[in-house]
Structures are given as structure tokens and as C-alpha cells.
Amino acid sequence: MSEEEEDENYVYSDEDELELEEEEEEVYAPPSHGRASEEGASSRGSTESAAMGGKRLQDGTYTLIERSEVEAAMLAKAREVSELLEVSASCAEVLLRYTGWSSERLMEQFLADPEKVSSRCGVDKWTGGCEGSTASSLDSDVALPPAPSGGLTCRICFLEVPASEALTAPCGHSFCGECYEGYLANKIDEGSSCVHATCPEDKCTTLVPPKLWQRALSGIPDKLAKYKTFRIDNFITFSKELRWCPAPNCGKVVRAGACVASVKCAPGGCGFSFCMKCGEEAHQPASCELVQQWAEKCQNESETANWILANTKRCPKCQTRIEKNQGCNHMSCSQCKHEFCWMCMGDWSEHGASTGGYYKCNKFDPLKATDEESDSARAKRELDRYLHYYKRYHGHDQAQKFAVKQLEATEKRMVELQESTHGSWIDVQFLKTANEMVIDCRRALKSTYIFGYYLDPSATKQRELFENLQEHLERFTETLSEMTEQPLETMDRTEVVNITRVTESFLHNLISGAESGLDVVPDAKDPTTKPTVAAS
Amino acid sequence: MADKGRIKKELTELSRDTKSGVTVEVKSEDMHELEGTISGPEGTPYEGGTYVITISIPRGYPFEPPKMKFLTKIWHPNISSQTGAICLDILKDQWSPALTIKTALLSLQALLCSPEPEDPQDAQVATMYKQDPAKFRQTAKFWTETYAQKSDGESAAISRLVEMGFSRDRAVAALAQAGGDETEAVNKLLSS
Ligand SMILES: [Zn+2]
Ligand SMILES: [Zn+2]
Ligand SMILES: [Zn+2]
Ligand SMILES: [Zn+2]
Ligand SMILES: [Zn+2]
Ligand SMILES: [Zn+2]
């Protein structure tokens, strides 16, 4: 592929940008500010809302974008910065990578010390200003110096090469084309870090510009394409407003404006709802931090194991597992009737007056015992509390999975209903809307148990309010869920539509209620994870 | 596809060089296993020693660095006293295809001149280097004499310990641990 041909793919003019704005159709409001649905498109605001590139999406809206659009957005952002800093767009791209695609931080750091930033990024020897990049592509706007006219001895293969077969980076170091190809191909194989590849010369920090990548890898276009992919991936990974859909095998990219908490990979995507901030499944009303804490807590199953270890022991005689549920240390095995001391596991018959009396094992430090006893009691209480929340969290999680599976059946039922009522496709949409509402509610309810678990126990008022909202949403979700499973003959469309609407408003009430300030305490020291020895 | 042509050229160039104090020998037919030697630089505790380094050429050479390891035991903060593994940037991420086996060996020689205890490979050695430079020098020198010199005459200390009835291996190990201090070595042997 010739360089000119390749360049064609990167042409990006002001016209394109306008076109993109026009094409932008599907901008959605996130569930927290109104459900993502077809109606959501109407929330699209002025021209600025949908503009790609450096311009912002309207706050609170988001959209699915194609890979090609991502590339255009990256280019637009680079060009914008290139004009501000009066550097080539390729150079701007490198500089933006340095600050994780934050133009603000780049401006701050670059304006403070342009030389330092440029040399740290390996672009201090790059020449070519912003003029070059606006007219042509991003990938050919950095000038490459000519190789020594008399040819050279390549410092990699040690062979003599004519100038026409050599490639020279902006630093002036030349190598033969074949070695350059091998060098960059090897960098590609090392993975995403290839975007930071420098000139092959020892200790040279000059970054290999895109134009040189193109020349060197023109014979292996699939490697060259990978280089481009890595650059775009870097842009997606580090741009705050972009995120890969985390659902397995989806690969769609979501672009969101400011204040978007969670987004749905739709339409045209897989339908998965996820958090724009942490990339996990959408989790309102719980915060990203609480969700992470909760996940760690749940993963740590040893917590339960610890409790069992602290509270159950084996009979020293027959090894039957014994759970202690009273405060008394005088144990009697239910299997073999062996009597022993819970504290020291010694024979109870040895615990006579000489050892301090039946109920005061002398091998036991009373001071420590009080501590340990209360620890264990606290551990038990804490575990019960955790299990209360976990059971309900888990219940909604299972129900959500069920509702997701139910979607398939719902599609079939929609066809059935349409045929039997001779209605239109729009007329049967309510079934799907209801089913999707159940999924959204289950997901949110799941998170309410994370939220509730970490809610400050002393904030009685807030807890009451929250639990009230939770209870309502739970009740309506169950009702709606039941309705969506009804046989079609007995289904009342109006009722389903109404209940869906009411449920939606309860969902929003709960999320905005929780967001408008219910105090939450972080997971401080967890008493249940502490190994405890004594009984309660 | 390691470039055989380039390795051959490097070897020819190396065989002509008699001044730099480094040599390389081919150990396998495909020229992927080599063995290099460097001499201990003057004015260092390694002076007088000859260090054998195993060199393994990866498939991606010269775009990937050669793998090098000290075969000769050495007491140095950036080289493992146990395995001979080397901590040197140009053998890792700072490798450039414009570097060669020879330049890498010369860099190792330079490393012997100027250890970098802030980036240690062997924590025990690095700690001694920083906290007790005299003992470090003494130990490094003893290791040079014991492991890196042609044994045309047993060190007097080893002979005396062997005469006392300790096995040669144990005597060498104890002396190496004690940095050549004979009394300390005897105490070690007696208490173990
Ligand atoms: Zn070459
Ligand atoms: Zn260079
Ligand atoms: Zn998706
Ligand atoms: Zn999150
Ligand atoms: Zn028993
Ligand atoms: Zn007892």
C-alpha cells in the first residue's frame, strides 16, 4: 500500500465534523436522569451535544459510537490541541497520551515547560507544525530527514545500504528499511506499549513518528493496522468520556457527557448497563467504592469460615462438630455425651474446686475472656447482619438473571400477541418495556442492599427513609415481575403499562433519594474477619 | 528469526579484538548458546579475576536483548551471589538493537567498576556494600580469589582449614561467608 493510499483513510476535514454532528442520532439520557430509551433521543440538545472530538457531549447524555468514529474523535482532539500548541497533530497525539488524554492537564504542563514535556515525550526533535496536519492526515505531518546521500552502514545488520533503502527518524539516526521493519514489527508483538517505541539507536529517546511507522511497515499492512489499533485503544482506555462495553464479546464503545453515572449498551449494542466511572455493572444507588468493598467482602468467603472456626469446635473424643450457642463453657457432646471444657478442651471432670470451680476454668484468663467473648459476640452479630443483606442481594441478583433470560421469551410472546390481536409491533412493545423495567429494578435493588449494608447505623432517620423507598420499589418490582409472567390471555395492557410507569417513578425516587445525601460509613475494621477463640 | 549473519559478523569482530578484555566462544551449532568472559577491572576487588558469562541469544535478537548470566560466582550488589542473575537496564528495557554482545559485555565490566546499590539484585550484598564498605571489599576480593582465579595455588587460608580437618567445600563456603576472615570462618565451622 502506498503512503498516499493509506493517507486517504485519515483525511479529516471540518466538513466531516459537521457531518458527524448531523449523523449523531442516538444520544441518551442515563437511567438516573431518565431511562435510556427511544424517547431519550429527544433529550438531545443543541449542536454541541453531539459534536465529536474535543467538543463535549451535553451533560448527562451518552451515545454508542463506532470504531471509525472513535478514530475521528481522537484525530479531532489531537487537531484541536495541535492548533493550540502550534505543533503537528501527530505530536499533539503523543503529548495527549502523556497526560492520559486530558487537554487541561496538558495545557497546564506544556505551557509551564514545553521543552521538558517535549523531551520527556520524545517529540523534541520532531518538526512540522499544525498547518501540515490540518491539510493532510495525522500520520504524515512529521518531517523525516533524508538519509546520508552516500548511503550508510546499518548499525543493526552491519550491512552497507544506499540512502534510498534507509529510513531516518527526526533525530537523524538512520537504519536500513529491513531492520526498521523488524524492529517495529517486534514492538507490535510486545503489545500496546509499542506506541511508545523510540528510535532503535542506543539511548536515543526520539519517538518513532507515525509517518515512519507507515514507511517501515508498508510491507506488512496487518502489523501497521495493529499499530493504529493500539493508538485508538490507548485513546479509549484513557479518555474519561469513553468506555468499552465490559460485556464479554461486545466491543462497543460508549461516549458520555459529564455527570453520566451509568449507561446502557443500546441501541445496536448488547444491552448491558454499566457504570461509566468504574466499568462494573451499573450499581446506583451504591457508589463505586462501596461496590468494590462489597465485592471484596463477598469474595472473602473465609469470613463465614472464620465464624465457624470461632464458634464451633470438634468434640475432643469423637470429633463431632459442635456448635456452641450458649455462654456456658461446660460442654456435653450430643453424640458421645463426653463432657469437656470449651475453653481448654480438657475433660470437665478435671475442672473441680481445685482448679477454680466448675464454671471458672483456671486455665483461662478472665480479662482476656471478656474481650474475646465480646469479640465473638460481635462477630456473630456482624455476620448475621452481613448475611441478612447478602441473602437479599443474592436474591435480587438471581431474579435479575432470570429476568434477562425472560427477555427471549418475551420477544416470542410479543410476536404471539401481535398475531392474536392483529395489532402493530408498537402495540406490543409494552411487554418488553415491562421486562426491561424489571431488570433495571432488580439491578438497582441489588445495589440498595450494598448501600444499606454500609449505611451509617446511627443514622436512624435516613435508614427509615431509605428502607421505606426500598420496600416500595421491592413491592412494585415483585408485582410487575409477576405481571410479565402472566399468560397472554389474561394480560391487561393498560395495567402493565401503568404499573411499569409507577415502578419507574419509584426507581427514580429511590436513586435520587439516595443520591441526595444519605450518610454512609466506610467498611472500617471488620470484626468478623478477626480470628476469635472464645464462645459467646 | 535471530539474524545469523549479524551474529557471525559480531563474532568475527570479537575474534579480532584483543584489547578490550572480553572474549566470546560459541557453545552450540546454531550459534544461540555462547559463553563470554570478562576480566575484572583494575582497581576493583574483582581485579585479577576472569568471569565466565553464559549468553543465550533469543529468537528476536537483535531486537530483543541477549540473555546473560554470571557462571562464575561473584560478590556484587547487582549480581545474584546465588544464581549469577544480572540486574542491568540494557539487558532489559533499555536494550537497543544497535548494541552488540560485545557492548553488553563491556557494560558488565563497567558494572563491576561502579555498582548501583539502589537497584540491587542481591539485597544481602547491597546492604553490606552500603553499611560496611570495608567488609564488602574484603568479601568481594576473597570471592574473586576463590572463584574467579585459576587455582594454580590454593589460598593459604583454605589449606590451613583443610589441615584442621574440615572438608575443602565446607572450608571454602565458610571462608566465603566470612569474607575471607579466617577466625570468623573457623568459628562458623565449629559452631555448625
Ligand atoms: Zn539494517
Ligand atoms: Zn535516534
Ligand atoms: Zn455491549
Ligand atoms: Zn462504578
Ligand atoms: Zn463426642
Ligand atoms: Zn478448661
Cα A184 → chain centroid: 32
Which helix (H) or strand (E) segment holds residue A479: the answer is helix A460-484
Residue B8 falls inside a structural domain: yes
Cα A323 → chain centroid: 42
* Contact between residue B101 and residue B24 where contact means Cβ atoms under 8 Å apart: yes
Residue B54 zone, left/alpha/beta (φ > 0; ψ -120 to 50; rest): beta
What the block records as the C-alpha cell of A162 is: 544506499
3-state SS, one letter per residue, for A308-331? HHHHEEECCCCCCEEECCCCCCEE
Cα(A124)–Cα(A89) distance, integer angstroms? 14
Residue B180 falls inside a structural domain: yes
- Report, as an integer, the average pLDDT of A70-83: 89
Q: Is a pLDDT exceeding 60 seen at residue A203?
A: yes
Q: Is a pLDDT exceeding 60 seen at residue B80?
A: yes
Cα(B116)–Cα(B131) distance, integer angstroms? 14
Could you please report the per-residue DSSP string of B141-181? HHHHHHHSS--SS--HHHHHHHHTT--HHHHHHHHHHTTT-
pLDDT one-digit tens code per residue, A464-508 = 888 888 888 888 888 898 888 888 888 888 999 999 999 999 999
Q: Which chain B residues are Cβ-neighbours of A202 within 8 angstroms?
A: 90, 96, 98-99, 103
For A57, which DSSP code?
A: P
Same domain, B85 and B171: no
Q: Do A157 and B6 touch (CB under 8 A)?
A: yes
Length of chain A: 536
Same domain, B150 and B88: no
pLDDT one-digit tens code per residue, B95-144 = 999 999 999 999 999 999 999 888 888 888 999 999 999 999 999 998 89
Query: Which residues have a beta carbon within 5 Å of ligand 4, which is an ion?
Result: A 275, 277-278, 288
- Report, as an integer, the average pLDDT of A285-307: 78
Residue B40 falls inside a structural domain: yes
Same domain, B81 and B19: yes
Same domain, B58 and B142: no
- Report, as an integer, the average pLDDT of B80-100: 92
For A520, which DSSP code?
A: B
* Contact between residue A348 and residue A331 where contact means Cβ atoms under 8 Å apart: yes
pLDDT one-digit tens code per residue, A267-283 = 888 889 999 888 899 99
Same domain, B26 and B82: yes
Q: Is B113 among the residues known to form the active site?
A: no
Which region among A352-361, A447-456, B182-191 has the lowest average model confidence (pLDDT)? A352-361
Please tell me the distance between residue A143's alpha carbon and the centre of ligand 1 in angstroms.
22
Which of B80, B113, B146 marks a domain boundary?
B113
pLDDT confidence band for B73 (50 / 70 / 90): very high
What the block records as the C-alpha cell of B134 is: 570495608
Coil, strand, or helix at residue B106? helix
Q: How many helices (H) and strands (E) does chain B have?
A: 7, 4
Q: How many CA atoms lie within 13 A of A162 on its CB side?
A: 1
Same domain, B11 and B81: yes
Cα(A331)–Cα(A458) distance, integer angstroms? 37
- Report, as an integer, the average pLDDT of A416-435: 89
A201 touches chain B (CB under 8 A): yes
Residue B43 falls inside a structural domain: yes
Per-residue pLDDT, A501: 94
Q: Which chain A residues are Cβ-neighbours of B103 within 8 angstroms?
A: 202
Please tell me the distance between residue A347's alpha carbon and the centre of ligand 5 in angstroms.
12
Pairing relationship of beta strands A330-332 and B22-26 according to DSSP bridges: unpaired
> Helix A177-189 crosses helix A221-238 at what angle (to 10 degrees)?
40
Kindly report the nearest CA distance between residue A92 and chain B, in angstroms. 25
Residue B27 falls inside a structural domain: yes
Per-residue pLDDT, A375: 67
Q: Which residue has the higher pLDDT, A138 or A283?
A: A283
- Report, as an integer, the average pLDDT of A134-156: 79
Per-residue pLDDT, A312: 59
- Report, as an integer, the average pLDDT of A446-455: 90
Kindly report the nearest CA distance between residue A156 and chain B, in angstroms. 5
A190 touches chain B (CB under 8 A): no
Which of B81, B113, B145 marks a domain boundary?
B113
Which region among A355-369, B15-29, B176-190 has the lowest average model confidence (pLDDT)? A355-369
Interface test with A, best of B14, B63, B99 (most A CBs within 10 A): B63
Would you tell me how many other CB atoms lie within 10 Å of the CB of residue B77? 25
- Report, as an integer, the average pLDDT of B139-159: 78
Q: Do B63 and A182 touch (CB under 8 A)?
A: yes
Same domain, B173 and B154: yes
Per-residue pLDDT, A155: 94
Per-residue pLDDT, A42: 35
Task: Report the percent of chain B where pLDDT is more than 70.
Answer: 96
Task: Say which of B90, B94, B98 has its CB closest to residue A156.
Answer: B98
- Report, as an integer, the average pLDDT of B68-72: 95
Same domain, B15 and B94: yes
Would you tell me how many other CB atoms lie within 10 Å of the CB of residue A241? 17
Same domain, B92 and B131: no
Q: Average model confidence (pLDDT) for chain A?
A: 77
pLDDT one-digit tens code per residue, A512-531 = 888 877 644 444 444 333 33
Per-residue pLDDT, A309: 47
Q: Which domain holds residue B172?
A: 123-191
Number of the ligand closest to the Cα of A159: 1
Could you please report the per-residue DSSP string of A202-238? TT--PBPPHHHHHHHTTT-HHHHHHHHHHHHHHHHHH
Which of B82, B113, B144 marks a domain boundary?
B113
* Among chain B residues, CA nearest to A186: B63
Alpha-carbon Rg for chain B in angstroms: 18
Residue B13 falls inside a structural domain: yes
Q: Average model confidence (pLDDT) for chain B?
A: 88
Residue B118 falls inside a structural domain: no
Q: Is a pLDDT exceeding 80 seen at residue A395?
A: no
Per-residue pLDDT, B68: 96
Q: How many helices (H) and strands (E) does chain A have?
A: 17, 13
Kindly report the nearest CA distance between residue B102 and chain A, in angstroms. 14
Task: Report the percent of chain A where pLDDT is more than 90.
Answer: 32
pLDDT one-digit tens code per residue, B35-58 = 999 999 999 999 999 999 999 999
Same domain, B89 and B166: no
B9 touches chain A (CB under 8 A): yes
A158 touches chain B (CB under 8 A): yes
Q: How many domains does chain B have?
A: 2
CA max distance for chain B: 57
Please tell me the distance between residue A161's alpha carbon and the centre of ligand 1 in angstroms.
8
Residues A278, A328, A341, A344: which is the catalytic one? A328
Cα(B75)–Cα(B68) distance, integer angstroms? 17
pLDDT one-digit tens code per residue, A91-122 = 999 999 999 999 999 999 999 999 999 999 99
Structural domains in chain A, CATH included, are 27-243 (no CATH), 294-311+380-517 (1.20.120.1750), 315-351 (no CATH)
Same domain, B69 and B135: no
Q: How far is CA A382 from CA A368, A377, A388, in A?
A: 21, 8, 10
Full strand arrangement of the beta sheet holding A242-244: A62-65, A253-256, A242-244
Number of the ligand closest to the Cα of A181: 1
Same domain, B104 and B17: yes
Cα(A118)–Cα(A129) distance, integer angstroms? 14
Cα(A304)–Cα(A259) distance, integer angstroms? 38
Number of the ligand closest to the Cα of A313: 5
* Among chain B residues, CA nearest to A157: B6
